[in-house]
Chains A and B, each alone.
Chain A
Amino acid sequence: MKKSILIDTSKCMACRACQVACKQWNQLPADETTFTGTYENPPRVSPVTWMRITFQEEETDQGVKWFFGNQRCMHCTEAACEIVCPVGAIHHTDAGTVDIDFNKCIGCNYCAANCPFKVISFDRKTDLPTKCTFCYDRLANGYQPACANACPTGAITFGDRGDLINRGSRKVMSLQEQGNSRATLYGLDELSGTGMLFILEDVPTHYYLPENPVVSLQARLWSLLFRPLRIFVVLAMGLGLWSNYQKSTQLKRRIIQQEHRKPGADESAG
């Protein structure tokens, strides 16, 4: 069954429970930040910040509006990252989420470079791409994603995609009936449907979402021409990538070794 997350921006109060819950569950350290003149921080997604709340304010005739966005991997159906991945490391899971298999990943950074939402961060320390995993590990164990679990107001809900589309459409219709002609359900058709569905009260750009996200022509060409021959492409990538691969393999091996020690050894401090 295809799963999605519905983000109702009309219910979001930017408490950032989701942003911190994501770090908590995914064991991500804090980014070093500074005050930049807004409440928004960290200023962008990073290898240790997979999702963040964005803040935009605007003076209107009806007073101030404060828009709270939710930036992270959109889990697109037509996923540019998957399309361009030369080794097939990026794939859709049975829940419809987009997943990276680090055993296959060669750290080429094409996924991050081609993401229409710019929400994949390339970790220079490990040479691996990082992004929201949809908490697939939680899903597989009967828990909902950490962000949806933490959200106080029901702005983030997790469920079957069909149900969420119904719910989101009804909400958008009711917002439109109340006179908000800008209300939309974002993610319904974008990139053949994104795993993150947004009920937006205003234009997508107020939430740092592109008006018309597309998989770039370049990415499509690349995929069309080379993907069937990707093994040769890999070989052709030359020495630079080879050393890169060596490095990531070593790192992976180390991680796997650590993780296969006694149960819990990977979690406990000291």
Chain B
Amino acid sequence: MTNHWIDYQHSDVMMNIGLNTAENHPVSMKWIQKAKDRGGKLICVDPRFTRTAAMSDLYVPIRPGTNLAFLNGMIQYALENDLVHHEYLINYTNAAYLVNEAYHFEDGMFSGARLMDDGIGGEKVVYDRTTWSYQSDEAGQVLSDETLEDPRCVYQLMKQHFRRYDLQTVSEIIGCPLETLQACAALFCSTGKPEKAGNIMYAMGITQFTHGAENVRAIAILQAILGNMGRPGGGVNAQRGQSNVQGSTDMAMLYHIIPGYMPVPSESLHPTLEAYHATSPGGYWANRPKFMNSLLKAFWGEHATPGNDYAYDYLPKIDKERSHIATSKYMGDGEIKGMVCWADNPAVGGPTAARKRKNSAKLDWLVSVDIFENETATFWKEPGVNPEEIDTEVFLLPAALHMERDGSISNSGRWIQWRYAAGTPPGDCHSDLWIVDRLFRAVRDAYQVDGGVFPDPILKMNWDYGEDASSARVAMEINGYDTRTGELLTSFAQLQDDGSTAAGCWIYAGYYANEEEPACQRRIRETEGVGNHPEWAYAWPINRRILYNRCSADPAGNSWNPDLPLFQWNGSGWNRYDVPDFNAALLPEESARNAFIMTGEGRARLFSNGMVEGPFPEHYEPWESPLANRVSSVQFNPCSTVWYPDDRADYASGAFPLVATTYRLSEHYQTGMMTRNMPWLVETMPELFVEISPTLAADHGLVSGDQVVVSSQRGEFQAPVCVTPRVKSFQAGGKTIEMVGILWHWGYAGLSKGPVTNDVAPSIGDANTTIPEYKAFLCQIRKVV
């Protein structure tokens, strides 16, 4: 999230796309309702009529998997009708920059396409991105045309690229009536007026596609051209699903990064620390060596010295993709022998989950840490499985509840808030901190006693958090300190690359800077301001509540919306309600040149070389789709790795004529492992069901409550149907396309049991992130008689 929950109240128009906020983030509706009370409008773009749709001013139905066509249509509408925010566009984006003459786009493919080995026996497109660049003069200065008329400027190339996405075409792709689409475009693009703020909120209904990251990019482009970034009531707001998925991502529980969004060392790109530092991108990222060396100091303390490159080689270097889908495949191939699964439940939540469970049986050992018995730890207990045939050793370690332990978590708005332990865990339960601390010490003891292969990273690890590990001590290490004095740091600006500072996660510097009164424990509500509550908890980075906030004012320093000033230049300084995301010591015209400090250009990139698929977002159909791509001959994202080619259904065969999409309910949570063991919630939603339209029900002779088998190329499950007019068929591509809405909260463990519906979901992921395509695939239903 670039903004935060409370800031929603300032929005003039809010677009919920790929998100069901009323059901999955209900308290967000508090602030959406406040905006509505002020006259703000809520748009809900969703394949089915949800509880969010019931609250919205405009409901836009959309065929699953076509968000990008829709968003490109919104961009086209803004460009065509000149609803963009011109001054913003010229000053804060790269619209005026001239693009490399060799860059071109034709029939769904950008310049530089090469078909390459995908590493698992297939091929995919890997672009050579050299043409995705700017023109520059001899001095290296980027050329630009502020009149936006040069045919090679980003703005003109955009107009050319998006021209194909007129609303009529989009309507036929996404299956939404043209009038609804026009009303939606007119309403949202009205926020292109300088004083208006438009907010786009999204969640997994945007990211869980083979082109999910491009969906997000289209949102960012739309928000940039309408001048909605960096402003109260604006922004690109990813509503994250779990209470601390922001924090666990910040702490890099992901294969491709290390804490603070630095890339994991790669054997090909970063053989040495010097090579690692040399790949630092521009903008504020030029400081990355300071962040990296401080991280290494936090990890290996006195053993990290300039002489040994701060123990850089103690960090493993990665060879190939190690994402969730990839790991699961390697498990099936026998490469992975042991797994620690900490408060995660891939046996229900993973794509093609039955395969994951089957692959679990190939493990020598599996450790699960949880508060209830989950399906991952009990895969050997699944009905129909003979435990005698499974040789995997399984450990299930009992953890404490959230309210039984302390520590900080980061919400979607990046607010780091402290939890205090309220009760004591029962029986043998212990906090996760206690468990990981004891586990590390047990491993370290084993290496100390018996030796082993390359024990140095373990034995020399800076790891002393007390007999019973203290969250505060860990927090101080994450926050960072001066290695000579031990003094805690207050900002990442203090970090150095000479070993004089240590910090576990540079973006968290300052959150625990005061041992007595840590910033993340503050509880002071603001009495004056715009709802940023700067003294309530702590937001990374450096307590900034709205990112890119230089853009909230024009280049001269006047707030775009005089009634809602976040930053206002008073002639000698800034009157402000937030921490500047720019150099506030400069004159406004100067800081305006570097409004997006994290990019090398200092500007928002409407044209970018950061994505694997191309500089502009381009619509492709999902991997499994009932329709041919209407805008090009490239059917689905050519850059996605196809992990299991045999998993793909052939639509033409007619075996799987329906589109499936998966989603959650307000009353349950993710794999249901927690909520299916909570009787009050089980009472409200006791069983799995699937939702279908009255027309599909009539085709199959179904009424609500009838049992059906839902099948895909990958598996099947049985559930009762909920026949409802809230689900409707789509008229797209000259066809009537019916949809099956699938919940995925159930499994075979716990108080409320049901089939694992992710068994039918495909194991194919986004080309940039490998997030699986849960939201659009093909299926069939048959009545159980």
Contacts and interface: CB of A to CB of B under 8 A. Distances in A.
B680 interface: yes
A88 interface: no
B483 interface: no
B51 A66 contact: yes
Interface stretch (A8-16, A76-84, A220-228, A230-238): A8-16
A207 interface: no
A142 interface: no
B687 interface: yes
Given A24-B680, A41-B683, A35 B720 contact: yes
Contact of A152 (B26, B49, B726): B26
Contact of B684 (A24, A41, A63): A41
Interface in B672-686: 679-686
Nearest to B727: A64
Contact of B59 (A63, A68, A153): A63
Interface stretch (A25-33, A108-116, A133-141, A183-191): A25-33
B439 interface: no
A20 B688 CA distance: 20
Contacts of B685: 39, 41
Interface string B707-748: 000000000000010111110000000000000000000000
Given A13-B51, A35-B705, A41-B685, A66 B680 contact: no
Given A19-B684, A33-B683, A153-B30, A13 B22 contact: yes
Contacts of A86: none
Contacts of A11: 33, 55
B682 to A, nearest CB: 6
Query: Which of A13, A16, A38 has the most chain B CB atoms inside 10 A of its CB?
Result: A13
A96 interface: no
Interface string B23-66: 10011011001000000000000000101111100010000000
Query: Which of B33, B49, B53 has the most chain A CB atoms inside 10 A of its CB?
Result: B33
Contacts of B26: 13, 15, 17, 152
Contacts of B471: none
A38 B725 contact: no
B244 interface: no
Contacts of A42: 683
A159 interface: no
A38 B685 CA distance: 10
B676 to A, nearest CB: 12
A193 interface: no
Interface in A147-189: 152-154
Nearest to B706: A37
Contacts of B51: 13-15, 66
Contacts of B53: 66
A16 B30 CA distance: 14
Nearest to B754: A35
Interface of A is mostly: loop
A49 B684 CA distance: 11
Given A13-B51, A66-B49, A35 B689 contact: yes
B561 interface: no
A34 interface: yes
Interface in B650-696: 665-667, 679-689
Nearest to A151: B30
Given A30-B680, A57-B724, A152-B26, 5 more contacts: A11-B55, A19-B684, A33-B682, A35-B722, A153-B55
A31 B55 CA distance: 29
Contacts of B704: 36-38
A57 B726 contact: yes
A14 B726 CA distance: 15
30 contacts: A11-B33, A13-B23, A13-B29, A13-B54, A14-B666, A15-B22, A15-B26, A15-B666, A19-B684, A20-B680, A23-B680, A31-B683, A34-B686, A35-B686, A35-B688, A35-B689, A35-B705, A35-B720, A38-B704, A39-B665, A49-B683, A57-B724, A57-B726, A66-B49, A66-B726, A152-B29, A152-B33, A153-B29, A153-B30, A154-B33
Interface of B: 22-23, 26-27, 29-30, 33, 49, 51-55, 59, 665-667, 679-689, 703-705, 720, 722-726
Interface string A246-258: 0000000000000
Contacts of A152: 26-27, 29-30, 33
A197 B687 CA distance: 33
A59 interface: yes
A174 B667 CA distance: 32
Contacts of A41: 683-686
A35 B707 CA distance: 11
Contacts of A31: 683
Contacts of B29: 13, 15, 152-153
A13 B52 contact: yes
Contact of B687 (A19, A23, A34, A57): A34
Interface in A33-85: 33-39, 41-42, 49, 57, 59, 63-66, 68
Q: Report, nearest first, the 7 A-B pairs whose CB atoms are least far apart.
A: A37-B704, A30-B679, A30-B683, A35-B687, A15-B26, A13-B22, A66-B54
Nearest to A28: B680
A65 B55 CA distance: 10
A64 B686 contact: no
Contact of B30 (A20, A23, A57, A154): A154
Contacts of A34: 686-687
Nearest to B666: A15
A170 B681 CA distance: 36
A30 B55 contact: no
Given A15-B23, A30-B679, A37 B726 contact: no
A99 B53 CA distance: 38
B14 to A, nearest CB: 14
Nearest to B728: A64
A64 B687 contact: no
A37 B723 contact: yes
A264 to B, nearest CB: 14
B720 A16 contact: no
Given A37-B722, A59-B725, A154-B30, A16 B687 contact: no
A152 B666 CA distance: 13
Contacts of A153: 29-30, 33, 55
A64 B27 contact: no
Contacts of A24: 680
Nearest to A65: B54
A23 B667 CA distance: 14
A23 B680 CA distance: 8
A109 to B, nearest CB: 25
A49 B679 CA distance: 13
A83 B687 CA distance: 41
B722 A38 contact: yes
B686 A20 contact: no
A36 B665 CA distance: 16
A37 B686 CA distance: 11
Nearest to B33: A153
A199 to B, nearest CB: 13
A29 B679 contact: yes
Query: Which of A32, A39, A49, A59 has the most chain B CB atoms inside 10 A of its CB?
Result: A39
Contacts of B683: 30-33, 41-42, 49
A216 B720 CA distance: 41
A23 B681 CA distance: 11
A269 to B, nearest CB: 10
B429 to A, nearest CB: 15
A57 B725 contact: yes
Contacts of B686: 32-35, 41
Contacts of B705: 35-37
A35 B52 CA distance: 22
Contacts of A29: 679
A8 to B, nearest CB: 10
A13 B681 CA distance: 17
Contacts of B666: 14-16
Contacts of B682: 30, 33
A24 B27 CA distance: 18
